[in-house]
Amino acid sequence: MKINKVCVLGGTGFVGRHLVARLANRGYKVKVLTRHPQRHREIEVLPNTTLIEADVHDPTVLLENFSGYDAAINLVGVLHEYPRQSFRAVHAELPGKVVEACRAAGVKRLLHMSALHADAAKGPSQYLFTKGEGEQAVMRAEGLAVTCFKPSIIFAPDDNFYNQFANLLKTFPVLPLACPDARFAPIYVGDVAQAFEVALENDTTIGQSYELCGPRVYTFREVVEDIARMLGLKRLVVGLPDSMARLQAKVLGLLPIKVFTTDNYLSLQVDSVCGCNSLDALGITPHSVESIMPMYFGGMIQRRRYDSLRKVAGRD
């Protein structure tokens, strides 16, 4: 299938920025739809890339933007619900609208981002349940060449997960951690972007759903303790018993800005580890956390040193 023009939803996010840059540099003509173009002007600097303000939930807007494109990529997803952003609307209804718009606009190829253990029958959280519903909607679409991706947690120097814990560790000497024994197989964002690129260029991926995991499995406690070590910080990570973890999720979930909610707690009840890692099948050699993150966090230590020297010299 010859693909030249690709329309990306969620292309301004963490994964999207990496994927869009990769596709643009590979010569694809990329259009990125966003609610907030003014926040993402750097994307327009990429070759062959346009950034368009669009309400992707509006079927007519989708149809307009998909017309003349060969492929659509949907990366839109949220970790937390807000009054105007329900899991169902974002993870389940939007993929259905994308499928319809692809059909109506004559887009023949769709790549869809789901999540590891997304499951419309037994997803333990609303996040995983609705992601499963979205996956079903795209995988059952007739007359459309679909590929679906289900990654574990995704890491990189500009990620949300490792950086959120780095910030907490820099601020607090003791970190009470919910679900310390939950397991992850973090996958590098570059490997995820490569998986999407391979799919665009290889028709054997059509109709497939790919679990994506990094090369090593860590407990949540190990991830957080490793971040502290990489930052050169001596910190106490205290694993919370289950009842306290639930309480922490309930209390933090009441805050106007969400960092950890009961739904996140429920997602952590299933290990984010692949049953069958597809990277091999896609010809991708995964990068380890150890080959990427220590250099980045090491740079932070240097900057902290320079900052304190500047302070001593009265130049802060």
Ligand X SMILES: NC(=O)c1ccc[n+]([C@@H]2O[C@H](COP(=O)([O-])OP(=O)(O)OC[C@H]3O[C@@H](n4cnc5c(N)ncnc54)[C@H](OP(=O)(O)O)[C@@H]3O)[C@@H](O)[C@H]2O)c1
Could you list the residues that contact ligand X (CB under 6 A)? Answer: 10, 12-16, 34-36, 56, 75-78, 85, 90, 113, 115, 151, 153-154, 160-161
CB-nearer residue toward ligand X: 35 or 311: 35
**How far apart are the C-alpha atoms of 293 and 114, rounded to whole Å?**
25
Q: How far is the CB of 87 from ligand X (least distance, A)?
A: 10
Q: How far is CA 274 from CA 83, 134, 156, in A?
A: 32, 20, 19
Residues ≥6 apart with Cβ < 8 Å to 185: 152, 153, 213, 214, 215, 216, 217, 218, 272, 273, 274, 277
C-beta of 109: minimal distance to ligand X in Å? 18
Q: Which is nearer to ligand X, 161 or 296 (CB)?
A: 161
Whichever of 141 and 212 has its CB closer to ligand X, that residue is 212
Minimum CB separation from ligand X for residue 313, in Å? 38
Name the minimum Å distance from CB 99 to ligand X. 16
Q: How many CB atoms lie within 10 A of CB 78?
A: 17
* Beta carbon of residue 180, minimum distance to ligand X (angstroms, whole number): 19
SS3 240: coil
| Other Cβ atoms closer than 10 A to 92 | 20
Q: Looking at beta carbons only, is 164 or 308 nearer to ligand X? A: 164
**61/104 with CB nearer ligand X:** 61
The answer for residues whose C-beta is within 8 angstroms of residue 79's C-beta and 6 or more apart is 127, 258, 264
